[in-house]
Amino acid sequence: MSKTLPKIAWIGLGIMGSPMSENLIKAGYDVTGHTLEQAKLDRLAAAGGTAAPSIAEAVRDADVVITMVPASPQVEAIAYGPDGILENVRPGTLLIDMSSITPGTSIDLAAAAEEKGVRVLDAPVSGGEAGAVEAVLSIMVGGDQADFDEAKPLFEALGKTIVLCGPHGSGQTVKAANQLIVAVNIQACAEAVVFLEKSGVDLAAALDVLNGGLAGSTVLTRKKDNFLNRDFAPGFRIDLHHKDMGIVTDAARSVGAALPVGAVVAQLVASLRAQGDGGLDHSALLRSVERLSGAQV
């Protein structure tokens, strides 16, 4: 293990966190992780990392702490309090929150961390589980240039498009816009799928040719098989996209930006969740279109 690389503490080993932490291990980093599920700690250990029984133990000797948890309440729960990150890290530690949360939460965390001598970057990602596994994520970062420069080699083990978007909270604002675009794109693809099938067109052939033209997108490339096979195993759950649509809707309202199409898609995501499909992949928006079109799904 290279002694020149910083020691990493990773908090949150879910669908995204597990493969991301494993990519850091493959890149030569010493990674100590903590999460609430023993099976995921066992997975980290099997990949060459170290499992920690608590946040305090995970972060105590870390140079960099990375968090990847579902939403703002979870970030606040792991960051604050006597057992949280800020009370147990060394001054000078770099805290990188890669969760998708509200910009305000990121700004507040940076302010609280500064009082403890801890530096913070908000660095949410896009690319889903496949992007995490393949280390090709897009990473949108908010914070100080010097901290971004320090973290850049680490980010390069996780993703391909890595951009400092502005001060604290900027990464989360860009991520909110990303989730708006993705949701609208998936909804448009889902509507096209139902239209094509009801018209009797060969769906696989149609999606291939559509993806080769201006209608093509990363969403269609990544989700084409989900649409064709009705395979909605979660790569990114409807529950989480519902949370993200709430973030972008609230953030847009606060700055006076109208989201007429985004507001409709936010309601469609909420409706799908209310129908019990929150645990499915967000490509399951297709199910909502099918129901509206008379199918029994």
Average pLDDT, the chain: 97
Q: Identify the active-site residue in 3, 40, 116, 175.
A: 175
Model confidence, pTM: 0.93
Based on the domain organization, do 182 and 280 belong to the same domain? yes
Read off the amino acid at residue 67.
Answer: T
Query: For residue 83, is it within any domain?
Result: yes
Based on the domain organization, do 214 and 228 belong to the same domain? yes
Q: What is the pLDDT at residue 279?
A: 97
256, 261, 258, 282: which is closest to 270 by C-alpha? 282
Q: Which domain holds residue 102?
A: 8-167
Contacts of 223 (CB under 8 A, 6+ apart): 186, 189, 281, 283
3-state secondary structure 66-84: EECCCCHHHHHHHHCCCCC
Q: How far apart are CA 290 and CA 47, in angstroms?
A: 41
Q: What is the pLDDT at residue 2?
A: 44
Does the pLDDT of residue 258 top 50, yes or no?
yes
pLDDT digits (tens, 9 = 90+) for 27-51: 999 999 999 999 999 999 999 999 9
Which burial class, exposed, middle or buried, applies to 204 when counting CB atoms under 10 A from its CB (0-12, 13-18, 19+)?
Answer: exposed
Phi-psi region of 167 (alpha: psi -120 to 50; beta: other; left: phi over 0): beta
224 is catalytic: no
Based on the domain organization, do 158 and 269 belong to the same domain? no
149, 142, 60: which is closest to 109 by C-alpha? 142
Does the pLDDT of residue 20 top 70, yes or no?
yes
CATH number of the CATH domain containing 85: 3.40.50.720
CATH number of the CATH domain containing 194: 1.10.1040.10
Which of 124, 144, 167 corresponds to the end of one domain? 167
Does the pLDDT of residue 3 top 80, yes or no?
no
Does the pLDDT of residue 185 top 60, yes or no?
yes
Query: For residue 1, is it within any domain?
Result: no
pLDDT digits (tens, 9 = 90+) for 144-163: 999 999 999 999 999 999 99
Confidence band for 1, pLDDT divided at 50, 70 and 90: very low
Which of 138, 167, 196 corresponds to the end of one domain? 167
Confidence band for 296, pLDDT divided at 50, 70 and 90: confident
Q: What are phi and psi of 113, to 5 degrees?
A: -70, -35
pLDDT digits (tens, 9 = 90+) for 72-101: 999 999 999 999 999 999 999 999 999 999
